[in-house]
């Protein structure tokens, strides 16, 4: 049986590409559109993803959880959100591909984690936010089935011991959805109906 954290760097790259695919489709007047995350419009979601990638690089370089959180909402998009996101994803992948990065312990906001687990958290976040962006754009919101299965199967390993209730909304009320993707989205407080 494969370990949850096998191929996590490749999975992160695929998740980032999925988000970038939708980001490239944002029309000029679409940056202010609402997303399923009530506190963010499309630009704020894109900034969250871009800033997040950069903050993960910072963790590997020794940044503290307080420094991570202090930078969480700082603008990372400038005048070219797509290029900024793409560059941040490449920087994040390059940092985690570095020698020993996956085994390094980082001061993550939800608790100390190895780089491997931190990147798994980042990847899961990227998968869910890809759906958020697709929904905001009215685009096809079918996620990469392999990534959905990986996050769903590995959820307990990825988030073990972390205070996820501080970051994820409660699942919506009602009967559990039938599809695996929809069940996963409800775990992260989304309502896929």
CATH number of the domain where residue 58 is located? 1.20.120.450
Q: What are the pLDDT digits (tens) for 37-60?
A: 989 999 999 999 999 999 999 999
CB 138 within 8 A of CB 25: no
**pLDDT band at 169; cut points 50, 70, 90:** confident
| Number of compact structural domains in the chain | 1
Give the model confidence (pLDDT) of 12-35 as tens digits.
999 999 999 999 999 999 999 999
Buried b / exposed e over 74-93, threshold 16 CB at 10 Å, is: eebbeeebeebbbebbeebb
Boundaries of domain holding 109: 8-187
Inside any domain, residue 126 = yes
Look at residue 1 and tell me if it is in a domain: no
Q: Which two tokens stand for residue 178?
A: 């039938």
Calculate the average pLDDT of the chain.
94
Extract the runs of DSSP E, i.e. beta strands, from 12-125: 105-108, 111-114
pLDDT of residue 90: 98
Flag whether pLDDT at 1 surpasses 50: no
CA atoms within 13 A on the CB side of 146: 8
């Amino acid at each position: 049986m494969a370990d949850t954290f096998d191929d996590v760097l490749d999975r992160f790259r695929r998740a980032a590409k999925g988000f970038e695919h939708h980001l490239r489709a944002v029309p000029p007047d679409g940056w202010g559109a609402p997303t399923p995350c009530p506190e963010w419009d499309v630009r704020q979601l894109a900034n969250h993803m871009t800033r997040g990638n950069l903050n993960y690089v910072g963790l590997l370089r020794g940044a503290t959880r307080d420094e991570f959180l202090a930078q969480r909402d700082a603008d990372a998009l400038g005048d070219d959100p797509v290029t900024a996101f793409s560059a941040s994803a490449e920087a994040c992948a390059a940092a985690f591909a570095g020698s020993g990065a996956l085994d390094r312990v980082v001061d993550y906001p939800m608790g100390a984690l190895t780089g491997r687990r931190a990147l798994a958290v980042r990847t899961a976040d990227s998968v869910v936010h890809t759906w958020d962006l697709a929904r905001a754009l009215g685009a096809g919101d079918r996620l990469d089935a392999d990534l959905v299965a990986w996050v769903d199967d590995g959820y307990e390993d990825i988030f073990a011991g972390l205070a996820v209730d501080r970051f994820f909304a409660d699942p919506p009320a009602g009967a559990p959805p039938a599809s695996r993707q929809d069940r996963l989205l409800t775990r992260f407080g989304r309502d896929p109906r």
